[in-house]
């Protein structure tokens, strides 16, 4: 056992060894929409200008007949009779808005809708949508149907789901998804999704079952990059990947105070190039899992087969994980039946704080399969750094071997886990 004595926690105001490189507060401070202003040039010549005083039909006709590929939405409420507006492929839409998330019809273009969506992109794709305040009482802020769509600097609130993603190569930046009744964002299909510098807050206000289909966000596509986002106070998962194949990057995020798991990576496989199926690195995860039950950990990887299709494994590393009593466990690997196995997990070089009295809060678990614990599964914990109040408590979990479920650090190392890891007393 490597044992050191030290007091304290993650430093601030300097480059971090673990968690986001510039610190958790930097991520929070930069998850803010920017201002959106009018295009250069003359309305009617260089761009099409809408009018919130006009009917929905008049404004929709202006969008459909636009020949400039630029549409300006001045501040005000763009009332609809139900379902909202349809873009044209390749258009840039600018919806007036100030910097920050404090938006209303007095300073922003507001799109309310009581139908399926406030705005829908087209199969031809290529649209850019910037700014605005989207409010859809019954459904989606934006439904994305086309490839290559960019969404920036918007606020999505009081919708069922802020944005529904169902196409490829979408980028979402500097936007706020708050107080939506089911999800902030949801992806049903598609590949090469980028979400960065966004705030995902207080979603699933209807308190739908968070173990089924509700929470901060849920992605089910391929090759997702989720970077430098702040997800907090959601009634459910802060981040959820489900049936998510390919090489994903989940990095530099702050996931805190979510009712279920901070990061829940589920049902992933190695991709057909044989690369790792996911990289989960440099995230800050704290005080998630207050609702307890399944998938209420700071980080959990469940039924993730890093060996499928020749994959070389998936990695969880350089994360800052902070757990205490009243919240979910620190970090788990999980699988169920033999057809849903977790293989080739590489959990290494994480900074894991286990402050309370709970036992068995870091390791691997399975209700009905012993495969995850086998040598064939090749799931590895190496060179992780743990902070604990004492060395006598059995805080590590490996329940597929003789001798009991929970392990002390010495017993954990005797299983070949973290033989070069360390324990710090706090």
Q: Pick left, alpha or beta for residue 98 (phi over 0 → left; psi -120 to 50 → alpha; otherwise beta).
A: beta
Cα 140 to Cα 401: distance, rounded to the nearest angstrom? 48
Q: Which helix (H) or strand (E) holds 301?
A: strand 299-302
How much of the chain is in helix, strand and coil states, percent to nearest 5? Answer: 5, 40, 55
Alpha carbon of 288 to those of 156, 317, 340: distances in Å?
23, 18, 25
Q: In terms of DSSP bridges, do strands 406-407 and 396-398 run parallel, antiparallel, or are they unpaired?
A: antiparallel
Side-chain half-sphere exposure of 192, counting CA atoms within 13 A: 9
Q: What is the pLDDT of residue 275?
A: 43
Angle at Cα 401 formed by Cα 396 and Cα 405, nearest 5°?
A: 40
Q: What is the pLDDT of residue 338?
A: 62
Q: What is the pLDDT of residue 68?
A: 98
- pTM for the complete prediction? 0.93
Q: Which helix (H) or strand (E) holds 346?
A: strand 345-348
Q: What is the pLDDT of residue 59?
A: 97
Q: What is the pLDDT of residue 50?
A: 98
Is-contact 205 179, C-beta < 8 A? yes
Q: Pick left, alpha or beta for residue 393 (phi over 0 → left; psi -120 to 50 → alpha; otherwise beta).
A: beta
Beta bridge pairs of residue 76? 109
Cβ atoms within 10 Å, residue 202: 18
Beta bridge pairs of residue 386? 352, 423
Q: Which of 282, 353, 285 is nearest to 319 (CA)?
A: 282
Is-contact 331 30, C-beta < 8 A? no
Q: What is the pLDDT of residue 5?
A: 34
Cα 76 to Cα 245: distance, rounded to the nearest angstrom? 42
Sign of the alpha-carbon torsion through 212, 240, 31, 246: negative
What phi, psi does 150 have (nearest 5°)? -115, 130
Side-chain half-sphere exposure of 400, counting CA atoms within 13 A: 19
What phi, psi does 323 have (nearest 5°)? -130, 140
Is-contact 226 250, C-beta < 8 A? yes
H, E, C per residue of 309-358: HHCCCEEEECCEEEECCCCCCCEEEEECCCCCCCECEEEECCEEEECCCC
Q: Strand, helix or coil at 3?
A: strand
Which architecture, in CATH terms, is 3-425?
3 Solenoid (2.160)
Looking up tokens 């009991």 gives 404
Cα 323 to Cα 33: distance, rounded to the nearest angstrom? 30
The strand ranges marked E within 236-290 are 240-241, 248-251, 254-256, 263-266, 278-281, 284-286
Cα 140 to Cα 150: distance, rounded to the nearest angstrom? 17
DSSP string, 176-220: EEES-SSEEEEEEE-EEEEEES-EEES--TT---TTTS-BSEEE-
pLDDT in tens, the chain (426 residues): 444 333 344 445 557 799 999 999 999 999 999 999 999 999 999 999 999 999 999 999 999 999 999 999 999 999 888 889 999 999 999 999 999 999 999 999 999 988 889 999 999 999 999 999 999 878 899 999 999 999 999 999 999 999 999 999 999 999 999 999 999 999 988 889 999 999 999 999 999 999 888 999 999 888 899 999 999 999 999 999 887 667 889 999 999 999 999 999 987 665 544 444 789 999 999 999 999 788 889 999 988 888 877 778 899 999 999 998 888 889 999 887 666 788 889 999 999 999 988 888 899 888 666 788 888 889 999 999 999 998 888 999 987 654 558 899 999 999 999 999 999 998
Q: What is the pLDDT of residue 370?
A: 79
Structure-token pair, residue 344:
């080739």
Q: Strand, helix or coil at 150?
A: strand
């Amino acid at each position: 056992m490597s044992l050191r004595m030290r007091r304290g926690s993650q430093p601030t105001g300097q480059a971090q060894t673990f968690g986001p490189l510039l610190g958790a507060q930097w991520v929070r401070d930069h998850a803010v929409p920017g201002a959106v202003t009018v295009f250069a040039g003359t309305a009617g010549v260089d761009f099409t200008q809408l009018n919130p005083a006009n009917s929905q039909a008049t404004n929709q006709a202006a969008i459909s007949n636009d020949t400039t590929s630029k549409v300006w939405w001045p501040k005000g409420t763009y009332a609809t009779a139900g379902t909202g507006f349809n873009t044209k492929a390749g258009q840039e839409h600018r919806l007036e808005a100030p910097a920050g998330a404090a938006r209303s019809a007095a300073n922003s273009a507001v799109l309310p809708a009581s139908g399926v969506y406030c705005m829908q992109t087209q199969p031809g794709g290529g649209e850019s949508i910037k700014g605005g305040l989207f409010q859809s009482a019954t459904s989606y802020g934006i439904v994305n149907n086309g490839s290559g769509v960019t969404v920036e600097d918007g606020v999505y609130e009081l919708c069922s789901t802020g944005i529904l993603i169902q196409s490829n190569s979408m980028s979402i930046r500097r936007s706020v998804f708050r107080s939506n009744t089911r999800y902030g964002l949801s992806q049903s299909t598609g590949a090469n999704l980028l979400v960065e510098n966004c705030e995902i807050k207080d979603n699933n206000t209807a308190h739908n079952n968070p173990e089924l289909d509700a929470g901060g966000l849920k992605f089910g596509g391929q090759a997702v990059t989720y970077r430098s986002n702040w997800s907090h106070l959601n009634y459910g998962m802060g981040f959820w990947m489900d049936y998510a194949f390919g090489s994903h990057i989940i990095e530099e995020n702050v996931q805190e105070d979510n009712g279920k798991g901070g990061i829940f990576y589920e049902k992933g496989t190695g991709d057909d190039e044989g690369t790792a199926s996911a990289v989960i690195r440099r995230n800050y995860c704290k005080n998630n899992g207050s609702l307890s039950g399944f998938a209420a950990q700071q980080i959990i990887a469940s039924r993730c087969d890093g060996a499928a299709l020749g994959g070389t494994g998936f990695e969880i590393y350089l994360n800052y994980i902070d757990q205490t009593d009243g919240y979910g466990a620190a970090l788990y690997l999980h699988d169920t039946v033999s057809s849903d196995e977790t293989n080739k997990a590489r959990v290494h070089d994480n900074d894991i704080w286990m402050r309370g009295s709970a036992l068995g809060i870091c390791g691997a678990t399975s209700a009905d399969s012993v495969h995850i614990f086998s040598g064939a599964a090749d799931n590895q914990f190496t060179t992780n750094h743990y902070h604990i109040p004492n060395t006598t408590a059995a805080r590590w979990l490996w329940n597929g071997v003789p001798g009991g479920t929970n392990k002390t650090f010495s017993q954990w190392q005797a299983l070949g886990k973290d033989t070069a890891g360390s324990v710090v007393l706090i």
